[in-house]
């Protein structure tokens, strides 16, 4: 089974708009792929929902708990600083490296 790390934008698009990003999430829910996530990625999702979309804390907590149900939590042991233009994307790489992901 393929292991995949999803960028924060995929989660946000799936949550807010559905379409193709939601189909990717559904593959994880059905067990057709393994979706890897880290606490840092979850924190970024929560932060964006709060700052940009003004969601309240209980709703954000529900979304994060839902994501936890269909993902595998990875705790990266190393940090990387490869992506300079959008530093938070390094968290995606860290999760992918630690979880030995097949795809990002």
Q: Which residues contact 41 (CB under 8 A, 6 or more apart)?
A: 5, 8, 91, 92, 95
pLDDT at residue 86 tops 90: no
Domain encompassing residue 30: 3-99
Do the beta carbons of residue 2 and residue 34 sit within 8 Å?
yes
* CA–CA gap between residue 8 and residue 89 (Å, rounded): 9
Q: Which two tokens stand for residue 41?
A: 């990625």
pLDDT at residue 1 tops 90: yes
pLDDT digits (tens, 9 = 90+) for 66-82: 999 999 999 999 999 99
Q: Tell me the average pLDDT of the chain.
A: 96
Q: Is residue 90 in a domain?
A: yes
Q: Is residue 104 in a domain?
A: no
Q: Is residue 15 in a domain?
A: yes
- The domain total for the chain is 1
Strands (E), 1-104: 3-5, 34-37, 71-73
pLDDT digits (tens, 9 = 90+) for 17-65: 999 999 999 999 999 999 999 999 999 999 999 999 999 999 999 999 9
* CA–CA gap between residue 40 and residue 87 (Å, rounded): 12
């Amino acid at each position: 089974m393929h292991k995949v790390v999803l960028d924060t934008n995929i989660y946000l698009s799936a949550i807010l708009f559905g379409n193709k990003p939601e189909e990717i999430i559904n593959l994880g829910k059905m067990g057709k792929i393994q979706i890897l996530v880290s606490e840092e990625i979850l924190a970024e999702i929560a932060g964006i929902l709060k700052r940009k979309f003004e969601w309240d804390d209980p709703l954000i907590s529900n979304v994060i708990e839902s994501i936890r149900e269909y993902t595998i939590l990875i705790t990266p042991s190393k940090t990387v600083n490869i992506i300079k233009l959008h530093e938070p994307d390094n968290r995606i790489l860290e999760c992918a490296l630690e979880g030995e992901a097949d795809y990002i």
